[in-house]
Structure 1
Amino acid sequence: MLQRVILIVLDSVGVGALPDAYKFGDEGTNTLGHVVERTGVELPTMEKLGLGNIIPLKTVRPNPKAIGAYGKMAEKSAGKDTTTGHWEIAGLILKKPFPVYPEGFPEEIIEEFERRIGRKVLGNKPASGTEIIKELGEEHMKTGYPIVYTSADSVFQIAAHEEVIPLEELYRMCEIAREILKGDHAVGRVIARPFKGEPGNFVRTPNRKDFSLKPFGATLLDILKEAGYTVYAIGKIEDIFAGQGITESVHTANNDEGITATLDAMDIVKKGIIFTNLVDFDMLYGHRNDIEGYAKALKHFDDRLPEIIAKLKETDLLIITADHGCDPTTPGTDHTREYVPLLVYSPSMEKGVNLGLRETYADVAATIAELFGVGAINTGTSFLKELPLKVGV
C-alpha cells in the first residue's frame, strides 16, 4: 500500500493564463513557457516525467514514454496569491479574494497600528521590498520608524533594520498588525522583512517571518494530523497554514536548502506527507523579472530531482505542482493568474498517463485523502484510480 506522499510546490511556476486571466490583467501570461522560450533551458528529468506533454515547451520535448502522470490544474479560488494557492491544494477553496491595497492601507488601520506600537511608520504604499529599503532605509535608521508596504498580493509587510528594531520587537509589531487586520481587512499575510547593512548597501536577512491568517476551515493537513499521520512541513508551509495541521516543520532559506531538507525528511517520515515549498522561483526571480535567474533555478531543481526520485520507495507517491504564476517576462512584477503543472510519479507506476485538465488544485487534496483513507475532500476530484499503480491503495 502507498504510505507516503512527497508534495513539492514550485512556487509560481505557472503554465499558461487561465480563461479569467483578463480580470486580473494577466492575459497571455505563461511563466514556464516564456522562461523556456527566452532561455532555451533544458529540463531532462521533468521531461522524463512528462513535463513537455503538459504544454508546448521549446526545449522540453513531449515524451511518448513518460514515466510519470502529467496534467495541469486550474485555480478555482478567487485570487492568485501564495496563501490562496496552497490552501486550495490542501482542499480549501476561497470564494472571496483576500483584500489588496493598491493605494496603501487606510488611515484608520495605520493610525491604530502606530498607536499600538508607539511610533510612526514610513511608506504605506505598494513597493518592491528591495526598492523600498533603498528609498526609506536611511530615514528609518535616523527615526526608528518601521517601513510599512504592500504589493499586488494581500500582504502587510514591515521592514526594519535589525540594529534599529531588534527581531523580537519586529515580530511583536507583526503580531499587533495581525490582530488589527481582521474582518474586511483580513490580509492573507503579515510579513516581517528584516534587513541589515548601511545606506546604499542594504540587504534583507534570512530572518523573514510570516504571520498568516488561519485557514477558515479544516484542510487536508488537519485531517491527516488528526488521523495520526506525520505532516512534515518544509520551507514556508508552516507559515502559510499558520501552523495548523503540522506535526513537524523545517524552515529553509532557499531552494537548495528546501531540496536537501526534503531528502533528509525522506529518511525520517515513515507514514504521512512531506510538504515542501520552493520559494526562490517566485521571491528571487519572478517578482524581479529575472528571466535568466528563473531558468537557472528551474535547472537546479531539475538537476537535483534525480536525488529525490532515487530515494522513492514502491510505497511512495511524488507530486510536483505550483501555486500560481509569476511570469518574469511581463512588464509587471506581480503574480499571474495561471494554470499550474501536475507531475505525479511512483516507482510502482507501470507507465505514464495523461491526467488531463483538472478543474481545481483541490484534486491533489482529494487524491491524498483517498490514498490515506481519511475521508473524501469534496472540493476536489481524486485522480488516484487513474494512476497505473502496481501496489494496492
Structure 2
Amino acid sequence: MTPSDPAGFGTRAVHAGQRPDPSTGAIMTPVYQTSTYVQHAPDVHQGYDYARVGNPTRTALEQNLASLEGAAHGVAFASGVAGIDAILRRLRPGDHVVSTSDLYGGTYRLMRQVHEPMGVGFTFVDLASPDALAEAMTDATKLVWIETPTNPLLRIYDVEALAAVARERDVAVAVDNTFASPYLQRPLALGADLVLHSTTKYLGGHSDVIGGAVLTSDDGWAEHLRFQIKAVGAAPAPLDCFLLLRSTKTLHLRMERHCANARAVADFLRGHDAVARVLYPGFEDHPGHEVAARQMRDFGGMVSLVLADDTVETAVRFMQSTRLFSLAESLGGVESLVSHPASMTHGSIPADVRRAAGLPDGLVRLSVGVEDEGDLIADLNRALAALAEPALVG
C-alpha cells in the first residue's frame, strides 16, 4: 500500500507499510530487536546492514506514516525535537528562518539556544496573514516554520496561503502537525515541503512512547534526513516503532473521540462564570475558525483557557483540583491532561517573550482525552467550584 493508494484513511492506518510476517504469518509487524545484520559478502545484504541506519520495524512505521500524510518518504526519529533538529541541520551560518511566534517551548529553545549560536537567524512573528510572512522574509530566508494549531494559544494559520508566499521565493515550508495529526490535517497537500510530528502525542496516543517523524515528498530533503539519522544517531528503538504501529491503527477512531470531547468541554467552559476566556478553533468567532474549517477535518482535542481570576496561583489551584485531568507534561494520550504552559512546556521561553507572543502567565492548557464526556465535564465543574472555596494556608 503506497502513499497514493486510494484506500480510505482508516484502511491505510491499519494496513499501510505492514504485511503478515512471511516466516510465521504473524499479523503484527515483529520487533526486530537486533543491532546488526548478517551479510552475504561485504556490503551485500538484504537491505539492512546496521540498526542505526535502518530496521525493518522502523521501515514499516515510516511507510505507514508516509501513507497517512500522503508523502513519498517517512523518516522516524527518537523524538520530535530530534526531527526538528535534523531539519534545521540543513541550514548554514547566515541562513534565516521565519517561525510562528506561538510555538512549543522546546522548538524555541532548540532554535535560540542551539542553532542561533551557530549562525542561523530566526524571526518569530504572528503569521496570521501572508503579508506578515512576506515582510518577515529576507534574501537569506531558507525555511518557514509553521505550527497550526499553535501550542498553546491554538492559533490557526493558512498553510496554503503561506506556502504560496514561500514558493515565490523558493523557500522551504515545514509544518509541525502534532496538534492536528494527519487524520485532521495534511499540510503536504496544502503546499508544505515537510511535516513534523512528535509521535509521542496523538500518533502514539497512549503516553508510553517517545518518538518523532518527518514526512516529505522531496527526494533531497529525504536524503538529508536519512543522512542525519546515520551521522548523528537519533534513531528510534524497534520497540518504540512497534508501539507506534500499534497506535496508528486506531488513530482515526481516537481522534474522533478527542474532537467530540474537546468540543463539549469547550462549550461547557465558555458558559462558566469562573472562566474568562476559552481558546478553541471550533468556535465560530475564533479568528482562525474559517481557515480551520477549510484545512482541517475537525478542530482537534486541545482546549486552552484563562480563568476569571487570571493569576498563576488560581490556575495552580484549579489544576490541582481536577481528578480525571491529570497534571502532567505532554498531550494527545487517551487520558485527559492539564498543564500550565508558562511554567511547564513553555518554561524555556523568557517571560517577556511569552507575553509578547500573547501567552498569559495564568493560561491553562487541556489535552482532552477519550473518557466519557459527562465525567470530564463533571471533573472540570468540581475544580472550578473549588476556586470559590477559601484557599488552604500552610
So what's the TM-score if we normalise by structure 2?
A: 0.29
Q: Which has the higher strand share?
A: 1
- Flag the structure with more relative contact order, 1 or 2, with Cα contacts below 8 A and sequence separation at least 6: 1
